[in-house]
Chain A
Amino acid sequence: MKQYETVIGLEVHLQLSTQTKIFCGCSTEFGKDPNSQTCPICLGLPGTLPVLNKKVLESAIKIGLALNCKINSLVKFDRKNYYYPDLPKAYQISQYDFPIAHTGYLNVKTGDETKKLGITRAHMEEDAGKLIHDPAIKSSLVDYNRTGTPLVEIVSEPDMRSPQEAYDYLTTLKLHMQYLDVSDCDMEKGSLRCDANVSIREEGQTKLGTKAELKNLNSFKAVKSALEFEVARQIKLAESGERIVQETRLWDESKQITISMRSKEEAHDYRYFPEPDLVPFMVEKEDIKNVRTTLPESPSKKQDRFIKNYKLSTYDVDVLVQDRKISDFFEECVKEYNQPKKICNWIIGPLLQEINSNEKGISNDRLSGINLVAPTAKTFTDLIIKVEDGTISNLVGKSVLTSMLDRGKTSAEIIKEQNLAQVSDEGALEEIVATVIAENSKIVEQIKSGKESAIGFLVGQSMKKTQGKANPKKIGEMIKRRILND
């Protein structure tokens, strides 16, 4: 049997998180009433002139630099012409021959190796509107709120050799973009969208095979599944001697297959020409230098630094660095209380658990999720210190954290309010120990006959009776003493 090599390239569309659209002052906010955020410019009415949003160019330069690209000093826009109801002007303002950034790379950890995956180009363009198809009324409804939302399209080289590599590229790219704070990168909201080009070729070949372009990939998992399906489909065709045709295929999430979308083929003649309504832009070396100084530390650099400076495990660091705000928060906490490993455990354990159960998925700003009051480094480390010095038990500490996040109070306030301070005083615990021993005679017998591990059960019962306030270590000692010395 022949061996096949998979060749994948990805096109990622990133919605920039600007206040306003790329060429007009309409809001880009997601989820508003249809067409409520439109104006003559984004509706493409005659006689209007687009004017470039400065922040879009800055964000695009940031993205280019973060992807190790060369930045074009001449920036111009072009018209991409096609007819579709989601495009009111019947052309999309995009960039054709002078993209803002080109020829870069992204280092991607995949399996045990780090691969340097090429970036062909990144360019600015405007988003199209949203179509809702309603077969019942034999019509489509168009919402132009999204029309004119700034996009940066990032095109990779066909450098990926497996669906897993494509997946790793995508998650790494997302992380880097989130660090730049240029997009919220939320696939569910469509602020990060991905099309995949995939082909196969016999092992050893250098010529590219005939590719299929996969669309409708609405999650990271869908990208991987669709690619896996498509690679298998193409190999099957090749094995049976059939020809693979170049086409666009749609991923059908419910059936987990790709379906040919033949009708769009002729639409590939976009007749690009320079956009006369926008004057050219010159990006000076000085401008690039200025943007470069605003670039945050990249996630991979941060990873290395955390391992070196805080002596944390690769796993710990991976989790912390997955979210820029969380990793910044970690560092603020370490400044307050120099116990990196303890802080890390509290963050990647209880804190992230709370955040994740309150919010769906990973957003760019998990610390200030809608239902939670973000702790400050001071309040968070205060809590950890209270657990460390025995003021409260570990268990109570976790529930105090929940209250802190729910209600925005400090740990001291909550401990006082709910009378949660850990009880270590033997006198105060005496009665509890006596009751628990009296109520569990069977267990006590087991302990007496040598099964000391059963003490843990009695400690648990005592903790329950004190709503977790008892010092478990103390209780354990007392129970052991009482039973074994009896």
Chain B
Amino acid sequence: MISKKDVQYISHLSRIYTDDHEAEALAKNLEGILTYIEKLKKLDIKNVKPTSHVLPLKNVFRDDILKESLGQKNATKIAVKSEKGSFKVPQVIE
């Protein structure tokens, strides 16, 4: 059972604000999803190969070769706030 408390815990971890009303609704939605997954777990998959990715690709590499970077100016252009070439964020000292 997914409780409202579970939703609030996950929303805190994900830094997504949910009010009481939303948390209750989400708990119901997530419960529905998990019930469906329980159903999937009961399927007979004896003849299905295990897979860790949906694409039939493997071993896609790149060589260790330098590419041009954005550079300081372009990179920090997208920052909400910047200073001294750095992204400026609220203090996060431990």
Contacts and interface: CB of A to CB of B under 8 A. Distances in A.
Interface of A: 18-20, 24-27, 33-40, 43, 45, 51-57, 74, 76, 81-85, 90, 131-133, 135, 137-144, 250, 261, 263-264, 266, 269, 271, 274, 276, 278-282
A72 to B, nearest CB: 12
B13 A269 contact: yes
- Name the prevailing secondary structure of the B interface residues: loop
B13 to A, nearest CB: 6
B65 A144 contact: no
A135 B76 contact: no
B59 A34 contact: no
B13 A38 contact: no
Contacts of A143: 85-86
A19 B64 contact: yes
B75 to A, nearest CB: 4
A38 to B, nearest CB: 5
Contacts of B15: 83, 90
Interface in B74-94: 75-76, 78, 81, 83-94
A76 B52 contact: yes
Contacts of A271: 13
Given A43-B75, A76-B52, A38 B64 contact: no
B61, B78, B86: residue with the most chain A Cβ atoms closer than 10 Å: B86
B47 interface: no
Nearest to A51: B62
Contact of A25 (B58, B62, B85, B88): B62
Contact of A53 (B14, B62, B83): B62
A16 B83 CA distance: 30
Given A20-B67, A279-B60, A142 B75 contact: no
Nearest to B83: A141
A302 to B, nearest CB: 27
11 contacts: A34-B72, A53-B63, A54-B62, A76-B52, A81-B13, A82-B13, A141-B88, A142-B88, A144-B75, A276-B53, A279-B57
Contact of B91 (A39, A138, A261, A281): A138
Contacts of B72: 33-36
Contacts of A90: 15
Given A19-B66, A82-B13, A132-B86, 16 more contacts: A26-B69, A35-B72, A36-B72, A38-B69, A43-B78, A54-B61, A54-B62, A56-B64, A83-B13, A137-B83, A139-B89, A139-B91, A143-B86, A144-B75, A144-B87, A280-B52
A150 to B, nearest CB: 10
A38 B71 CA distance: 7
Contacts of A281: 58-59
B40 interface: no
A308 B91 CA distance: 59
A131 B84 contact: no
B89 A25 contact: no
A266 B78 CA distance: 31
B64 to A, nearest CB: 4
B53 A274 contact: yes
Contacts of A53: 61-64
Given A19-B64, A20-B64, A282 B89 contact: no
Given A35-B76, A280-B53, A26 B58 contact: no
